[in-house]
Structure formats: structure tokens, C-alpha cells
A and B are shown apart, each in its own frame.
Chain A
Amino acid sequence: MDPRMCRKISSSESLPDVENEEYEVSTIIAPQESDENFMLDGSPEPHSVTWLDNDQIDDLNLDDQTNLCFHRVDSADIIYRSKKKKCKMVGKYVMGDVLGEGSYGKVKEMLDSETLCRRAVKILKKRKLRRIPNGEQNVQREIQLLRILRHKNVIELVDVMYNDEKQKMYLVMEFCVGVLQDMLEASPGKKFPQRQAHDYFTQLLDGLEYLHGQGVVHKDIKPGNLLLTLDQKLKITDFGVAEALDMFSPEDTCYTGQGSPAFQPPEIANGAEQFSGVKVDIWSSGVTLYNMTTGRYPFEGDNVYRLLESIGRGEPAPPPAALGPALGQLLTNMLKRDPDLRPTVHEIRKHSWVQARPALEAGERLVSPRSRRSDELHTSTVIPYLVERHYPSAQDYFTERDLRHELGDGGSRTLSTAELSDAASSRRKRRWHSSCGRLPSCRLT
């Protein structure tokens, strides 16, 4: 067997996002034609196959001098097996692919098997939480707050589940297609057209108005914590450092700030002992708007200390004149060093830039939610798992020759993992149709 073949497959390990490939080719079969060089299991019978997974392929000692003889292997004898999408249920939910990953754990897509509603789940591992400062405390606060809050622009906590055995907690939330942060990063100039920024900003104001009305200060408003649903509704998420104010106090005094540095106001950067909580959100929303419309930050620094120093001491970079006077003025107001001078949500609403919806200028294009996968429609990732569950015969085997034939390739070059998985999934799709055809009551469209 050709050792290079093994290397080629194993190289899939180093490719980014390999977990999100729809069908990862994870295993090859080493044909047992004439030698026992690659008999990992040591099974001596001829015509048997040995399955190698990626780890085993990595472990193969290809530098071993005894393995230097090259054997010719027919491409029809190299068999791939598409990675099985093992359907996993948590409660009444069917698990899908990973949507994102944080320090606390993963965020995955799920499907409510009863209502068929798409959901997202934040999976928290106790082990990881303990390592984060205030981790467990923050999660508890987040759950407490989200249980009470209900607004069209605040993420809805649908369900909370615990698995004591695995020491995992599942926070089931509304499904969202994207984070503003990701969209910004993928867009030209890392900014939105004013029209789009205006749309998000007004929704942010709606959400903030509600939160502040409920006596809740978010304290970590930033594009990374603003999500979008399928119908472009903005949802404020991540209440890990949020705080419920004392309902009976006329003040909105807070004592701790743990938000992201670039979005912190001067009073927190300077380490003030107490400060107005509501005005922290106003400042962070100002930085968010600044960032969405310019692609830059009002304060920058090489590291967190420099950054906080410049926020604490300096004046924000003036908004570029290209933004126009109205938006410029709004940003300047929201980014006042003195919290008392910053406008309230109510005042911001009345501002002329917020009142008038900016037009989409020539050459500007709306940024659509970016997908981690290549799927622009953000189709449910749960479907393949369901297929595995309901049609267990869908297991696919195919050979190297089939693949090359399918790709119209003479076999002269090495296939990339993406190509392999594409071919695999297209094969799978065809298989789907044929299995549909077998149901007498169902015809193909």
C-alpha cells in the first residue's frame, strides 16, 4: 500500500473547520493484497479489511525503513466510508452541528422533535466553567435573568437541562443565524452600510429600552453579543455579566464591570468604585454603532492595558466626516466621557439620525449573515442526523475510483478533503432519492 495515500487522508486533520465538513472521510480500508506491513490489527486472513481512523493514520510510522517498499494498489481497492452522523437526543431535542465555540463550551444547533422548531443550545461543562473567573456565578445569573426577560429583541431562553453524570448543562435558546461580529468581519471594510447599521441599531435601542425598564443592565453590549434570527430580528444575548438593579433604589449604581475592554467606558477603565449602569450600556452601544458604521473603534491600543489607558485618559477618535453630521453628532454624544452627559435611550430615539432611515447608497450592498458552512441558506444541520436515525441503511461505502470518476478526474492529482466530502455528500443525496422512490406512497418531485 502506498504510504502517501495515508498521509493524504490524514492531512485532513490539519484543515480548518474539519468538524463542519458535511461528510468527512474518516476511514480508509487497507487492502490485504500481499503484505502484512500495514496490518495494524494483525489479522492475517486475506481479503479482510482493516479500518483506520484519522488517529491511527497519524500514528502510522511511515519513516520506518521496512515500509519503504511501495505496493501498487488499485484505486477500486481503496474504500472510503462516509462519517456516520450519529443521531443524538438530549431530552426531546435532536442535536445538530456546532454553531460556535466559546471558552465555556460549544453552541450547537438542535431541533425540537415535538414542535420541529430549530433551536440553539449552549453546552456548558462544569469542568471548564470552574476555570473561568466567576464562571459558575455568571451562568447562574444569566439563567435567572433570561428566565424573567421576554422581549422581541432579547434572546429567549427556551429550556434548561442538566446532565449530572456528564457534568453538563444545556441552555436551549432561540435559533439565530449569525452574530453581527462575524458579519462585520466578513464584509468589505468590516462595516455595514448605514441603512443596515440603522436597522440593527434601532432594534438594539428597543431591546435596551426594555432591559433598562426591567432594571437590567447588560454591561457587555458589542457586535459579538448581538445575534440575528432568520427574519433579521436582532437579539441581545450573553447576559453573563449583566446585573439586575435594585428595584427599590432610584439610582442605577453598579460596582463591577467585566465586559469586553474595547467597549468599556472611561469610568470602568479608570477603575471607578461605582458608576451608573445604564450609561455603561449607552457608551457600549455608541462604540458598537461606531464600529458598525466605520469598521474601526473609537479607541485602539496594542494590548488591553494600553487600550484601557487610552479609554481612561484620552478622547475618542472623532467620527469620520464621511458619516455625515447627524451620525457624527450622535456618536459624539454617546461617547461623552462624563456619563451624565450621555443621552438616555429615549433621547437617542429622538435623534435625527435614528428618526430618518438612511437610504442605501449607490454601490453599497447589504451584508448577509455569514455561514460557517458553505450553505448560504442556513439549512438545518439536524437533517443529516435525522436521516441517519430514520434510514439506517444509508451507510455509504465508496472507492477511490468511484470518487475520481465522479469528479471527472483522471486521477492525476490529489483530492482535497473538501472535494472528497462534496463527492460523498452528492452521492448521499442521490442515495436519498432512490430510497424515496422505494416508498410506494411517495413519488419524487
Chain B
Amino acid sequence: MKIPPHELAKALADATAHAAGLSRENAELQSVLGAMREAVVAVGPDERITRVNAAAAPLLGMTADSARGRLLGESLRHPVITRVARAGLSGKVDEGEMEIFVPAKNASPGGSSALARRLFQVRGTPMPGRTGAVLVLHDVTQLRRLEVVRQDFVANASHEIKTPVAAIQGVVETLADAPEMNETDRARFMDILTRQTSRLSKIIEDLLTLSRIERGLAVDLAGFSPEPLAPIGSAAVEACAPRANAAKVLIEADFDAGLALPCDPSMIERALVNLLENAIKYGGSGGRVAFRIARENNQAVLEVRDFGAGISSEHLPRIFERFYRTDKARSREQGGTGLGLSIVKHIAESHGGRVSVESSPGAGATFRIHLPLAPPPAALPA
């Protein structure tokens, strides 16, 4: 069969235009996929990977190009993703959650092999005509973590509040029902009442403090003039002196007298008192507490360090949460409400700063409040 040259040329031009269109569509698709936060993996009917986006590459442990053509099970082995992929290939939508280990994002330079545990929600959707399946992986690690924090908070808060209420209610009922109770028992019950009432009122006071700070001191901060930090530090030491003396703990203060920044001095003092009280409680009797206020780069660092038993690493990421306790029995015995560190964190954040903690078992703990120092006057707009 003979095709006239002009028709051949036209067919060729059409095909080229079509190909150009396709490659433009392809490029568009690539950039849409590339912009996605979710990982996308497409597989063919033989379970071989046909396409992955940039977010998927680290999960597969290889570049997008080298993943193409490999069996899904070779690159990402997990029963959930296999199940979801097969459902997609047989024309069904399926989803599930799986836990996998992926290279940590902020791995230290030397530790390139560091892996982080992540939780992914996987959803598989069939492609038209059973030509394959698309798997979308959504990272829900943070979401699930926050759910745990919230559930723990609700459970801990109800425990912390209902326990004193239970004791108070029980004692009141007991006293009302037993008018002939002997003096010794009566005195013991009155003790319980006094102790639990004061505990409940401390918790309520701390919760109110937290909600006051949350309502936004940060907005009003502009109204405060620069306050020197050293006198605030001295006031905190003063406030903690009776406790420190009782526990035979020496507070060694080392303040940079020149540091000042706009802040609510009573709030900062409160935060420092909380940190000092903790250090006195957990630093061990007869010990010492190092209390430093210093400039570091463009920050004021308020640091309280004890030399006690320290805190094991599993607690450190959660220690500033409300009602989080590393040792419930011990901290309650010490009269804590479980809110002290959370208040410190909120005060620091309401001043545009942050908190940090460093500790290892046996080596004590160091708590720091980092507050941004005001930019030098020259940098301020006239």
C-alpha cells in the first residue's frame, strides 16, 4: 500500500503533536504527584511498580526511577500494603494502616542508618479496566500521637481531679453517718479532708493559671517594658529558700546582670519557682541546684540544673504535657499537681520563647527557658 507523501507528513505531524501533548500531560501529572505530601505508588496487574512520586521514594528506600519495574513486595514488604494493592488490582477499594520504619529525616550526619517508626494509612484504588492500582500512603504518625496525648490527658485529668473528690466525698459521708465516731478516727478523717481539699484547690489554681496564659498574654507583651532578669531570678530563689533549707539543698545562682527583656516579671518568676521547686524535690536531699541566667546568641537562657536521679529518655518528649507524670506515686507524695512543667512551657511560649530539657538517668536534669532578646534598637523601625 502506498501512502501519498503529504498524507504521511500530516500523519507524522499529528503523531508528533499527540506525543507532545502526551508528554505535556505526563509532565503535568508528574508535577501534580510531585507536589503531593502523600506518597503515591502505582502498580501494574503484575504487581510491578509503574510510577511513584517524590514522597514515595524514601519509603521505598530508592529513587523514583530505580523503583519503576520492581515488584511492590520487593520494595515495600508489609501485609497491609500487599492486601490493599491486591484489592485494588481486583477492582476493589481497600484501606488499612501499617507501621513501617523509614530513614529518619533529621538523622545525624554520622548515623545515616537511623530509622524512624512511622504509621501510614494506605488506600488502594483500582485503575480503569483493571490496568493497575494506585496506592496512596498518608503519614498519620503525628495524628495518632496527638490522639494518644489527648486520651492520656483526659484520663489523667479525671484521675487527678476525681481522686481528691472521691476522698472528700467519702470522708464527708463517713463523718455525717457516724456521729459516735471516736476522737482518733475523727481526727484522722479531718486530716484527710484538709489534705485533699488543699490538693484539689492547688490543681484548680494551676488549671486556671494555664487557661489564663493560654488566653493570650503574648498579645499584651508589647505593653511591658524591658525588665532586668537578674532581680526576677533572685526573687524566685528567695521564694524557694524555705523549701531549699528544709531539704538542705544549696541553690547556686549565677546571673548575667545586664540581661533585660520585655516580659511579665511575675509570670517569669512563677516559671522559675516551678523549675526550682522541681529541682529541690528531685535533686536529692543535701544536694545542690545550679541556677544560671545567661545570654546565648540572641536569647536569654534561664537554666535550672539538678544533680539527682535524672529522667529516663522515654519520658523526656512528654514531660511538659499536662498531668504527665514520670512517677505518679512519688510526685503526688511530693505534693505536685502534675501541671508545674506545663505552666513553665506555657509561660515561655507566651513570651515568644520555648522550653527544653536534657537529662540522663543518674546524671540529673537540666531545664531551660529560652527567651528571644529584643533586637538591638538600631534594627527597630523609626
A binds B: no
